[in-house]
Structures are given as C-alpha cells and as structure tokens.
Amino acid sequence: MTGIYTLSEINAVLPDVDVVEEIAKGFAAFSRGEVEVPPVGELLFPENNGELHIKYGAIRGDDLCVIKVATGFFENPKIGLPPFGGCMLIVSQKTGMIEAVLLEEGELTNHRTAAAGAVAARTLAPEDPKTIGIVGCGVQARLQADYLRKVTNCRDLTIWARKAGPTERAAADLSAMAYQVTVSQTLEELCDRSRLIVTTTPAEHPLLTASMIRPGTHITAMGSDTPEKNEIAPDVLARADVVVADSLVQSELRGEIYQARRAGALPQEKIVELGKVISNEAKGRDNGDQITLADLTGVAVQDIAIAKAVLNQLQAK
C-alpha cells in the first residue's frame, strides 16, 4: 500500500537525518557513474513569475527511484500563499509501484539545496573564512546560513539584497541563529569582507564581477537553475583557480558555467565535478589564496538521497 506523508510528518523526522552527509554521498555516487539522471523537465511561467521543474533519477541496483516535482511562484506571498511547492514520488525499481508520496511542499527541495551548499563549503571554502557573505534575503538565504553552521565555526555574516525591508527581516532571522550580522550597503563591501560567499537569488544579470572578488574567496552559486538565470559574471569564472559543477552534463545547459562557456570565458577542461573532489579524484582548493567557485544547479541525486533518508525515518516510526 502506498504511504502518503504530509509536510508535518516529514518535518517531524527531518532533524533525525544527516542531510549534509547524505547529499555528499549522493554527489560522490553520481560522479562515480552510479546514478542515472535524465535531463531536467522544465516549464516557465514568466507572466506569473513562476517555474516548474521535474527532476528524477535512479541509483542503479537500488530498490527505489525518485521523481520530484518542484514549483517556485515568487509572487505567491502577495496573495497569502508560499512561494514554493512540490512533492516527491518514491517508486520501486523492481515493480514500478509507487511506494510512497512525500507531500513536502518544496521543503525537502529547500533543505537538500541548502545541504549542497554546506557540502560545497566543506569541500572548497577556506578553513577560516572570517566572514560569510549571503547574497539574497529569501528562504534559501536563511537555510544556507543555517546549514553552514554545521560545517564551519564562522559566526560573522554579512548580507546584501536589493530591498531594505526584507533584508532587515532576514538579518534578524540570521541573528537568531547566533550570527553576528552586518547588512551591507553594496556588493563590493560584502565581497571585501567575505571569503565564503553564497548567492541565492533568481537574478538574470550578473551581480558579482571579478574585480569584487578577493584572493582566498570561495563562492557557492545557488540561484541559477535555469538557462536564463545568471548571478556571477563570466570573468569571475575565468579568474577562479577551481571551478566545480554539481553535474558536468547539466552545466552545459544551465547555471553559471553555462553562461561563462557561452561567453567564451571558461575552457571545458577547467571544470571538475563536485563528487570527484569529495572522493579526492579531482583537486579542490590547494591553498588559502585560491579563488574557488561551485556552480550548483540542483541534481536529482540530491532528491533521491534526501527522499530515501526521510522515508527510512518515517517508516521507522
């Protein structure tokens, strides 16, 4: 019988899952070629500032596969609705039967995305970043900061976003996480202070340029998950010593690497996959002066990892 689990049931067990470790193991398996991930399905609704993504995949030899539908409709808060939605279907690889439906309303997507940022920081960021810079003030900005507490002792944080009111509210929430928070008036100021920067916006025009970035900085770019989005100027990737993709295949179609390659600023041989760095099959950061960048467009193996781990906890109750 198919198990159907609500968001409240999912949230009750989520603290029992080591999401960062599960996502790290998923990336490593993906880069070993153990995971089949078809191209992302995508529908954009620009007239409603909305998007729908379908991501799905299977770890070969496993019992289960996962199909995830995720939506982001960013005007929804104006009519009293959350900006994110979605669900995950967990299907038997042996029979094709739907084993479970996780009505996660975008929450697991948000957590697996934040955990990927923590994995990238743990793998590539300098040991002591002095200050964490968060670009953006939405749900992911908060979650990225929350998950970074699991992988770094840094508690000094600078935030920048376009709108003053939402930025101040985000700063208050981040202060409640025991961060010392500074609201930056400019991106130049944020970059000057920070050696670990996370971008979390849906920008379609670059926010960070090479002249802003200081030696020793790591950047995790989270926001550009469609071909149209672009948070980081191509000259940043050209200048970086290490450029990492969550998926080399996906980076040919979307994200910061796609934009830099399209601009002719980034040779293909410079790009390595995150799972290979995690497994020490590819080089990451060698020293404290290098500039590193992780372009995370979101890969179905993340959904597989978090869905399976959460389902295990739900079934154990």
Helix axes 19-31, 107-124, angle to 10 degrees: 70
What's the pLDDT score for residue 14? Answer: 97
Half-sphere exposure in the Cβ direction for 259 (13 Å, CA): 23
Counting as low any pLDDT under 50, the low residues of the chain are none
Q: How far lies 149's CA from each of 113, 119, 154, 174, 279, in Å?
A: 15, 12, 8, 11, 23
Check: CB of residue 194 under 8 Å from CB of residue 222: no
Check: CB of residue 195 under 8 Å from CB of residue 214: yes
Q: How far lies 116's CA from each of 109, 174, 194, 296, in Å?
A: 11, 19, 20, 8
CATH 3.40.50.720 positions along the chain are 127-298
CATH 3.30.1780.10 positions along the chain are 3-108+301-316
Dihedral angle over CA of 313, 71, 237, 248, nearest 10: 60
What's the pLDDT score for residue 226? Answer: 81
Domain 127-298 classification at class level: alpha beta
The H or E element containing residue 304 is helix 300-316
CATH 3.30.1780.10 fits 3-108+301-316, yes or no: yes
Neighbours of 89 (CB within 10 A): 17
Query: What is d(CA 165, CA 80) in angstroms, rounded to the nearest whole number?
Result: 18
What's the pLDDT score for residue 40? Answer: 87
Could you write out the DSSP letters of every residue in 205-253? S--B-GGGPPTT-EEEE-S--STT---B-HHHHHH-SEEEES-TTGGGT
